[in-house]
Structure formats: C-alpha cells, structure tokens
Amino acid sequence: MGLRWGLLGCARICRRGLIPGIRASESGTLAALASRDAGQAKAWAGEFAIPRAHGSYEELIADPEVDAVYVPLPNELHKPWVMRAADAGKHVLCEKPLALDADEAGRMVEHCRSRGVLLMEAFMWRHQPRTLAIRKMVDEGAIGRLRLIRSSFSFPIDLSDWRLDPARGGGSVWDVGCYGVNAARLFAGAEPRSGQAVGTRSASGVDMNVAIVLHFPGDVLAAVDCSFEQPFLCTYELVGTRGSITVPDAYLPPASGPTAVLRTMSAPSDVGAGDDRVETLTFPAVDQYAAMVDSFDRSVAAGALEAPAEDGLAQMRVLERILRWVGTD
C-alpha cells in the first residue's frame, strides 16, 4: 500500500500538478485536502472526488488517514507547517524554495530527521525520465567532458502577485532561478565553489532579473538567468568537449512527450565546417509529478531519499549566496 496524501491548501499547483500527479502515480492515494476556507475545501473535494475535506490545516495534519503532506503554501509558511506535520509523524513534500534562508532550511531538515520523517523539496523536474536519461548520457560521456550548463527561466509576473513581496520570500531567484541552479548542481554533481551574480530589483525590493555564473569542481561552469519581466522561456543546455544537449520546455515538459536535441562533433573541425551530427531525442510521456510522488513513496519505504531527490538544504545555501552577490538581502 502506498502513501495516503493530504494537500495543505488549495494552491494552483495542486490543481495543475499534484492532484493529477497523485492520481497518475503507481503508489499514491489522495486522501484529504485542507483550506482555511471550509467551503473551498468542500468544493475542491467534490470536484476532485477527494474523500475528506478539512476546514483548517491543523485538522488535516491530525488526520490519522494521512501519511504524507504536501505543502504548497507561500514561502514564509513553509517552516511552521513542515514542523507541525513532522510533529504529527507525517512525511513532507514541500514546494520550492524550501525555506526563506539556509538557517531556516537547516532547522527544518534537522527537525524532520529528529521526528523520523522524510522531507523532500518538490523539484518535480528531477524525476522525469528525460532528466534521468540525459544525466546518464552526460555521465557516460555522450558530449565529452561537461564544461558548461546554461539555463533560462522567465515569465512576466502580475504586479499584484505575492511573489513581489520581500517579506514573503519573493523574487525571481527563489521562484524560477532556483530551477537553473538546481539543474547546474545536478548535472555538475557537486556544489559550486565560487560564483558571481548581478540583478535588477522591483520597487518593492525583490530581484526581478538576475544573471548568475557558478564555478563547479572539475572546471564546469554554469550560466543561469531568470526574470519576472521577460517573455516566457524555459530551457537548459549542457555543453561538453564533444557536443551539446539542448532541452526545450526544460522544467515543464509537454504531456505529449518531451524531447531534447543532441549535437555531437564527428571530429575536431573548423567553425562552420558542417560535420556536426544533430539528433532529436524523444522521451516517454510520463507525468513528472506522478514520477515524483512514486519516488517519494519509495524513499519513505527505504527510509532515505532516493536519488536524484533534493532535500533542499544544499540548494538553499547556494541560493542564499546568490542573493548576497546580487545584494538583495
């Protein structure tokens, strides 16, 4: 029997991500959801045929029919509700970014460890088959020695969005830049030893446009940019000494089946010689939220997070350094 899930809130990501993901998973069961608005909780429960609706987060956490809790709440609410869920013996999948800073993330990780529950940051893209296959290709030398990781993630945000409030952990780095940093750390297989970042800020003080350079062991560089003002863009590219892999719709793959473009050099040549080989790779059309739910279920059964899951603390340490470089804290 797999995990029985409870959703702590009626966030947009629940509707478009976790609810269909849990349903499409091999192991998970959607047992309950909660809202501070009891009427909304009942409406969602009716719409999605969820057995129990709770009119408070406390009620859901106390529900004995719930094994694991998903926390999709605004960033400043992650820590208190992760802690309460752990105190109730619930395993926790927490939306990114895990916390408001690395110190807070460290306390959350340690608290969950002390309560004997698992805590995982919800980077769903890590669990999609395309990510796993590309990581294997890179590790096996498909593009030679990895030298550069590029990532861009941007969209124009509504000016009334809570993510423009610095007190709530707003900013483009926390919201979308975190994906590029996460990709760089995953494919480099290490933590950056140095870096730089520059950015522009909104009137409220949050970072709106940021360009980041990270230097990893093994002479691997990463160039990551993110924005709350630029048109939608979601891509990453891995460049090695013998080729490259370009990944469109990088963190939000299409339901019809994600792709990537592998470009390899047949031999060292002059620029423009035209002897590169270009191949379009197609991967299984798997719901990445379902894959994440199943991975978390296996992790709970094993008592430890299954690679390439993210527990969030190392990620938060890097994001915090980036914001210091930008000068936004």
Which positions are annotated as active-site residues? Answer: 96
The DSSP line for 183-212 is: HHHHHHTS--SEEEEEEEE-TTS-EEEEEE
- Of 69, 55, 50, nearest to 5 (Cα)? 69
**SS3 state of residue 65:** coil
Instruction: Look at the alpha carbons of 219, 149, 196, 328 in this order and tell me if their dihedral is positive or negative.
Output: negative
b (16+ CB within 10 A) / e for 285-301 = ebbbbbbbbbbbbebbe
Strand partners for 281 = 260
Distance between CA atoms of 250 and 184, rounded to whole angstroms?
Answer: 13
Whether residue 282 contacts residue 155, with contact meaning beta carbons closer than 8 Å, is answered with no
Indicate the pairing of strand 194-201 with strand 207-216.
antiparallel
What the block records as the tokens of 249 is 């719709």
Determine whether 56 is exposed, middle or buried from the number of CB atoms within 10 Å of its CB (0-12, 13-18, 19+): middle
